[in-house]
């Protein structure tokens, strides 16, 4: 289903947060691409840098964070350090966001119609009835009634709000959508509805997507490829089938093992040790403090990516 | 539209009356708690001070009857509330037989106009400065000069007024020092008079605005920083909206709501402080009348002005409260929970 | 192996935390409190170096300019005013008087605020509703007006009486603050734990909540002190303060009544105003600094440099 055209490329991205006690390395030499019509899942535990990567792609890393190196290309155009004015033209038209947390992503004191319309009118010359009809259609597409048009966010449920956000994101047929944990903070049934809406819209529009999450189970059902992050580093990237069938990196295995299953009872695996202080990462592999298979070679230099299967790469000295 | 619900309306109107009731009751109860009977005390002081008072018998007689000094306190209190409700406090002490109310009314427009302009101006400027200070996208040069506007924040209005009078009026002779208008102009709807009135209002206005806007600015800065981190603010930026639109519709629009609540709560102290400014500038408003009344120990006039200001302030708060639901669709209970 | 490595890591983190690395060393807070200490020392140590009897009427020659002006004398370095009071002596007596009024009134207000605020926050329901309604009402009353009208009746013998009357309006601010803090803290894990384990309410308040509210309480107190001093000065400037003891506001009142402004006697009205401006600015800095300590987000943006 995906063509080979790369719509988004993240090359060697480095993001640091400058704190009084040293720079926190939130993204370290991250390389990632998304092909046309593809959904790439970006997973890892909280604080691993996945939201930082998302914010970098949106060029919305806020102080004290800063992109200190690398490039981000959308349809071949590097958007790192693009002037604000140029950037605004790309935002929403090519690059849309479905935010994390359904509760606060809509302005509580502005009507839904205005919040949906301003994103459209900022980039397109649509006015009056045409604009209203467009918003109606978008609402219909995500399965919301037209009366939502004149409502305030506090009159909607969490799931409805998140569907408004999805409708907003697809309004201008963007090249790529960043969905930042789109179903977190929703209850399980609503999660399914929202995830289904997302898939429907995606299939209909053929839009590419980066989906951020920590729930491997949800990822398995929605994405085409998975990228696993740990402490600011990508550790494994591959097609979803290949990764679930054969996770190479010990951390990926850990994540997959953490998916609860009804078929077998398994004891919860808790790895000892903490993530290292992100201000001064150890020499060598980023996972060495928690890895059950750690050996001397891990502490010497960071492992390079090796291809294990078609399109399936891992950074681990074992292979 | 959320808007104004009946229960919210009733609740706010009740608050309005409660505020007035507490205010006027305090001015009645506290002096009497202190032991001495104020009315007798003030009559004695007046006699002592002047030795001879024109119409002294009449005054004493009118007070004995109108205050009913021999009645028990609760009855006096109820009668006092009656005065409050009817805006009738009897005769002026110092200028018998002028009614206290008639001493105050000519001063009222001056105060109302000066204070409402000052309050609105200081809030608007303060909110603008504060929002710009709290906004990430504010240009660096602006960020660095904005805090200068906070310089006078902690100075009491009237002290700043004294400094302004001595420097701008007496040293530089740029603006008139005191009064509401010059003797040389004819009061009325003519251009020289209006110009003169405006010139006289400049210094009192500046001394209130420059010293009070910093408070709003600091509060607004904090609120704006908070909004800057809200998800909807980030989403608005991601939508590629113009910075102006993000700033106004997703920044100020939200941050100003708690600021307005603070403004409603702060009106009282703003008015209290401004009364002193009128006194410093000999501005012909209620503040100056109050000062003269204190000098002349004209207790009925003091009482009239105090209660009037309490009522006016409460009315200002009520108006803000009733307008609030129009700009915050979520209304009612919520605002009582936080802030 | 892994455990070892982790240990060395936390040690490294611990080493970096030293006693100087505390939010209480906020520049604004430190500057403000240093100024207050200096002003206080001036008032407290002043009587050791200067005769405070000179602060009273007819103790000195009248209308002397300060010593650096023509006609000034080193016996009255800051000059004297029309009633023959020495300016320096008046400042030495007036500063502690004004600070005392502020501290006393604000502390009483804070005490009432802690009581009412925690009652409202803890008990909720009708208690909360009543306390909240009254607090919100009183806070909108133009307190200075009511104080003026009270002070016009009640001749205040001394600064303590003055402080008591000022305290009448010093409690709603702290009450609101403490109520909302109690409500927030109640939902926090450690307080819930304490509530569930049947720890007495007073103990929870004192040992679990107060330490967490400390910067807020301190900010409220410094704000309250300067508010009370402001009210006191206002009353005094109108001639409604205690008349026996000179205070900063009383000096301004005498100066205004004697047309010091028109007569160009700058040395009369300026020193009390400058002193008060310094005091207010210092408390203002302390309050803003404490706000930043309480709410780290207000510390502004470093731009990664």
- Within 56-115 of B, beta carbons closer than 8 Å to C belong to none
pLDDT for res C78: 76
Model confidence band, residue B325 (pLDDT cutoffs 50, 70, 90):
confident
Q: How far, in Å, are A203, C181, C202 from residue C123 at the CA level?
A: 54, 14, 12
The confidence score (pLDDT) of residue C244 equals 73
pLDDT confidence of residue C106? 94
Burial class (CB in 10 A: 0-12, 13-18, 19+), C142: buried
| pLDDT exceeds cutoff 90 at B132 | yes
* Cα angle for residues A226, A229, A233 (degrees, 5° grid): 130
Domain assignment present for B82: yes
**Start-to-end C-alpha separation, chain A:** 31
* Residue A207 DSSP SS3: coil
Do B169 and B90 sit in the same domain of this protein? no
Q: Nearest 5°: phi and psi at A29? A: 50, 55
Judge if B93 and B131 occupy the same domain.
Answer: no
Size of interface A-C (CB pairs under 8 A): 40
A147 touches chain B (CB under 8 A): no
Using a CB-CB distance cutoff of 8 angstroms, which residues of chain B are in contact with residue C289? none
B141 & B280 share domain = yes
Domain ranges within chain C, ordered by starting residue: 38-67+89-177+214-266+275-302
Q: With CA atoms as reference, report the closest residue to B180 among B153, B151, B146, B203.
A: B203
> Among 2.60.40.10, 3.65.10.10, 3.40.50.300, 3.10.580.10, what is the CATH number of A6-82+213-315?
3.40.50.300
Q: Are residues B68 and B195 in the same domain?
A: no
Do B89 and B117 lie in a common domain?
Answer: no
Assess B22–C contact: CB distance below 8 Å, yes or no: yes
Tell which wins on pLDDT, C152 or B246. Answer: B246
Q: Are residues B176 and B278 in the same domain?
A: yes
Are B235 and B197 found together in one domain? yes
pLDDT higher than threshold 60 for residue B336:
no
The residues with which A73 forms a beta bridge, in sequence order, are A9, A78
* B230/chain A closest Cα distance in angstroms: 7
Domain count, chain B: 2
What residues 260-319 of chain B have any CB closer than 8 A to a CB of chain C? 264-265, 267-269, 271-273, 275-276, 279-280, 290-291, 294-295, 297, 299, 302-303, 305-306, 309-310, 313-314, 317
State the Cα–Cα distance between residues C63 and C243, nearest whole angstrom: 21
Mean model confidence pLDDT for chain A:
84
In 3D, which of A36, A15, A43 has the Cα closest to residue A227? A43
**B68 and B144 housed in the same domain:** no
Which of A84, A93, A107 has the CB atom closest to B254's CB atom?
A107
User: Is the omega angle on the peptide bond into residue B97 within 30 degrees of 0, that is, cis?
Assistant: yes
Over range A106-131, report the average pLDDT.
Answer: 90
Domain ranges of chain A: 6-82+213-315
Tell me which DSSP letter residue B250 carries. I
Compare A191 and A3 and report the one with higher pLDDT.
A191
Task: Give the model confidence (pLDDT) of B166-188 as tens digits.
Answer: 888 888 888 887 887 887 777 77
Residues of chain C contacting residue B167, judged by C-beta atoms under 8 Å apart: none
Q: Between B19, B159, B218, which is nearest C276 by CB? A: B159
Which structural domain range is residue B268 located in? 108-284
pLDDT confidence tier of residue B47, bands split at 50, 70 and 90: low
Q: How would residue B48 be classed by pLDDT, with cut points 50, 70 and 90?
A: low
CB < 8 Å to C291, chain B: 222
Q: Judge whether residue A238 has pLDDT over 80.
A: yes
B36 in a structural domain: yes
The answer to whether residue B40 neighbours chain C at the CB level (below 8 Å) is no
Close Cβ partners of A152 (under 8 Å, ≥ 6 residues apart): A108, A109, A110, A111, A112, B2, B329, B330
H/E stretch holding A35 reads: strand A22-35
Give me the pLDDT at residue B125, please: 95
d(CA C255, CA B2): 55
CATH second-level architecture of C38-67+89-177+214-266+275-302?
Orthogonal Bundle (1.10)
Q: B290 versus B60: which is more confidently predicted? A: B290
- Check whether residue B119 and residue B158 sit in a common domain: yes
**Of B101, B127, B144, the domain-final residue:** B101
Query: Is the Cα dihedral B229, B230, B233, B234 positive or negative?
Result: positive
Helices within B147-252 (DSSP H only): 157-164, 191-228, 231-238, 243-245
- The phi-psi region of residue B41 (left if phi > 0; otherwise alpha if psi is between -120 and 50; otherwise beta) is alpha
Nearest chain C residue to A275 by CA distance is C6
Task: Please give, rounded to a whole number of angstroms, the shortest distance from the CA of A150 to a CA of chain C.
Answer: 33
Low-confidence ranges of chain C (pLDDT < 70): 1-21, 57-58, 72, 299-305
Cis link prior to A64 (omega < 30° from 0)?
Answer: yes
Partner residue facing C140 (CB), from B279, B291, B314 = B314
* For range B99-118, the mean pLDDT: 89
Whether residue B247 is predicted with pLDDT greater than 90 in this model: the reply is yes
| φ, ψ of residue A69 in degrees (nearest 5) | -170, 160
Task: Tell which wins on pLDDT, B186 or A312.
Answer: A312
Among the partner-chain residues A63, A291, A294, the one whose CB lies closest to the CB of C304 is A63
Over residues B54-65, mean pLDDT: 64
Q: How far apart are CA A238 and CA A225, in angstroms?
A: 6
Integer Rg of chain A from CA:
20
* pLDDT tens digits along B195-240: 888 889 999 999 999 999 998 998 899 899 889 888 899 899 999 8
Pick the residue from chain C with its C-alpha nearest to B281.
Answer: C256
B94 in a structural domain: yes
pLDDT in tens, A86-100: 888 889 989 999 987
Look at C297 and B280 and tell me if their CB atoms are within 8 Å. Answer: no
The residue among B215 and A101 whose pLDDT is bigger is B215
Written as one string, the DSSP assignment of chain C is -HHHHHHHHHHHHHHH--TT--TT--HHHHHHHHHHHHHHHHHHHHHHHS-GGGGSTTSS-SSPPPTTSTT--TTSTT-B-TTS-BHHHHHHHHHHHHHHHHHHHHHHHHHHHHHHHHHHHHH-HHHHHHHHHHHHHHHHS-HHHHHHHHHHHS---SHHHHHHHHHTTTSHHHHHHHHHHHHHHHTSHHHHHHHHTT--HHHIIIIIIHHHHHHHHHHHHHHHHHHHHHHHHHHHHTT-S-SSS--HHHHHHHHHHTTTTTTT-HHHHHHHHHHHHHHHHHHHHHHHHHHHHH-GGGG------
Residue B290 lies in a domain: no
Element at B280 (helix H, strand E)? helix B253-281
Residue B336 falls within a domain, yes or no?
A: no
User: What's the pLDDT at B66?
Assistant: 59
- Give pLDDT, residue A272: 53
Q: Phi, psi (5° rounding) for residue A249? A: -75, 135
- On chain C, the residues whose CB falls within 8 A of the CB of B337 are 183
Instruction: Give the pLDDT score at B58.
Output: 67
Give the lowest-confidence range in A187-196, A242-251, B319-328, C72-81. Answer: C72-81
């Amino acid at each position: 289903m995906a063509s080979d055209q790369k719509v988004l490329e993240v090359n060697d991205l480095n993001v640091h947060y400058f704190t009084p006690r040293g720079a926190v390395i939130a993204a370290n030499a991250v390389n990632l691409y998304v092909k046309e019509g593809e959904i790439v899942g970006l997973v890892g535990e909280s604080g691993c840098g996945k939201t930082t990567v998302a914010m970098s792609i949106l060029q919305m890393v806020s102080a004290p964070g800063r992109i200190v190196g690398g490039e981000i290309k959308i349809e071949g155009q590097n958007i790192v350090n693009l002037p604000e004015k140029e950037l605004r033209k790309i935002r929403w038209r090519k690059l849309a966001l479905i935010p994390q947390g359904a509760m606060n992503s809509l302005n509580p004191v502005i009507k839904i119609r205005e919040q949906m319309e301003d994103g459209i009118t900022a980039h397109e010359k649509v006015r009056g009835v045409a604009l209203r009809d467009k918003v109606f259609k978008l609402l219909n597409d995500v399965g919301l009634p037209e009366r939502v048009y004149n409502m305030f966010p506090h009159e909607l449920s969490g799931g409805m709000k998140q569907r408004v956000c999805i409708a907003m994101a697809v309004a201008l047929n963007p090249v790529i959508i960043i969905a930042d944990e789109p179903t977190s903070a929703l209850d399980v049934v609503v999660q399914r509805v929202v995830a289904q809406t997302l898939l429907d819209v995606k299939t209909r529009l053929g839009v590419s997507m980066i989906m951020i999450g920590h729930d491997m189970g949800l990822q398995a059902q929605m994405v085409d490829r998975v990228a696993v992050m740990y402490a600011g580093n990508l550790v494994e990237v591959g097609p979803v089938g290949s990764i679930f069938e054969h996770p190479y990196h010990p951390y990926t295995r850990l994540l997959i093992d953490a998916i609860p299953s009804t078929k077998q009872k398994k004891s919860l695996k808790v790895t000892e040790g903490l993530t290292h202080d992100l201000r001064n990462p150890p020499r060598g592999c980023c996972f060495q403090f928690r890895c059950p298979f750690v050996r001397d070679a891990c502490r010497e230099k960071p492992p390079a990516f090796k291809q294990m299967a078609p399109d399936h790469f891992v950074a681990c000295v074992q292979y | 539209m959320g808007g104004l619900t009946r229960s919210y309306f009733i609740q706010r109107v009740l608050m309005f009356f409660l505020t007035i009731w507490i205010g006027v009751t305090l001015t009645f109860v506290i002096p009497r708690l202190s032991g001495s009977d104020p009315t007798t005390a003030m009559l004695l002081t007046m006699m002592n001070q002047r030795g001879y008072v024109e119409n002294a018998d009449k005054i004493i007689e009118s007070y004995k009857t109108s205050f009913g000094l021999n009645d028990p306190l609760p009855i006096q209190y109820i009668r006092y509330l009656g005065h409050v409700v009817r805006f009738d406090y009897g005769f002026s002490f110092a200028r018998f037989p002028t009614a206290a109310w008639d001493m105050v009314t000519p001063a009222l427009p001056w105060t109302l106009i000066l204070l409402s302009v000052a309050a609105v101006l200081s809030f608007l400027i303060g909110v603008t400065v504060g929002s710009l200070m709290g906004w990430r996208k504010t240009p660096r040069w602006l960020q660095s000069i904005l805090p200068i506007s906070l310089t006078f924040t902690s100075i009491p209005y009237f002290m700043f007024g004294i400094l302004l009078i001595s420097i701008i009026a007496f040293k530089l002779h740029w603006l008139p020092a005191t009064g509401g208008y010059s003797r040389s102009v004819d009061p009325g709807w003519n251009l020289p008079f209006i110009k003169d009135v405006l010139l006289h209002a400049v210094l009192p206005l500046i001394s209130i605005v420059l010293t009070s806007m910093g408070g709003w600015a600091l509060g607004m800065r904090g609120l704006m920083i908070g909004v800057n981190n809200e998800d909807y603010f980030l989403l608005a930026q991601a939508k590629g909206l113009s910075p102006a639109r993000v700033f106004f519709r997703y920044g100020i629009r939200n941050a100003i709501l708690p600021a307005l609540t603070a403004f409603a709560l702060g009106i009282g102290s703003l008015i209290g402080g401004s009364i002193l400014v009128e006194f410093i500038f000999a501005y012909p408003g209620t503040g100056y009348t109050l000062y003269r009344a204190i000098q002349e120990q004209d207790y009925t006039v003091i009482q009239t002005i105090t209660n009037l200001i309490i009522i006016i302030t409460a009315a200002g708060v009520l108006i803000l409260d009733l307008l609030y639901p129009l700009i915050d669709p979520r209304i009612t209970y919520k605002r009582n929970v936080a802030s | 192996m892994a455990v070892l490595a982790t240990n060395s890591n936390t040690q490294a983190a611990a080493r970096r935390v030293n006693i100087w690395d505390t939010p209480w060393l906020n520049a604004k807070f430190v500057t403000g409190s240093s100024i207050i200490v200096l002003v206080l020392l001036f008032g407290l140590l002043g009587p050791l170096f200067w005769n405070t009897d000179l602060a009273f009427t007819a103790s000195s020659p009248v209308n002397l300019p300060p010593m650096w002006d023509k006609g000034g004398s080193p016996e009255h370095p800051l000059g004297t005013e029309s009633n023959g009071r020495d300016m320096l002596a008046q400042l030495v007596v007036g500063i502690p008087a004004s600070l005392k009024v502020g501290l006393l009134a604000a502390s009483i207000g804070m005490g009432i605020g802690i009581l009412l605020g925690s009652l409202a926050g803890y008990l909720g329901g009708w208690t909360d509703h009543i306390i909240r309604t009254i607090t919100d009402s009183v806070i909108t009353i133009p307190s200075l007006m009511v104080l003026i009208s009270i002070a016009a009746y009640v001749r205040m013998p001394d600064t303590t009486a003055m402080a008591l009357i000022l305290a009448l309006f010093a409690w709603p601010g702290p009450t609101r603050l403490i109520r909302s803090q109690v409500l927030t803290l109640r939902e926090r894990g450690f307080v819930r734990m304490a509530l569930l384990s049947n720890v007495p309410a007073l103990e929870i308040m004192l040992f679990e909540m107060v330490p967490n509210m400390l910067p807020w309480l301190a900010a409220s107190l410094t704000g309250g002190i300067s508010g009370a001093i402001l009210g006191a000065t206002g009353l005094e400037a109108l001639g409604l303060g205690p008349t026996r003891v000179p205070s900063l506001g009383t000096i301004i009142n005498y100066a205004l009544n004697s047309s010091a402004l028109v007569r160009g006697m700058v040395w009369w009205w300026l020193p009390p105003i400058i002193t008060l401006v310094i005091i207010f600015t210092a408390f203002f800095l302390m309050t803003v600094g404490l706000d930043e300590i309480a709410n780290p987000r207000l510390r502004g943006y470093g731009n990664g440099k």
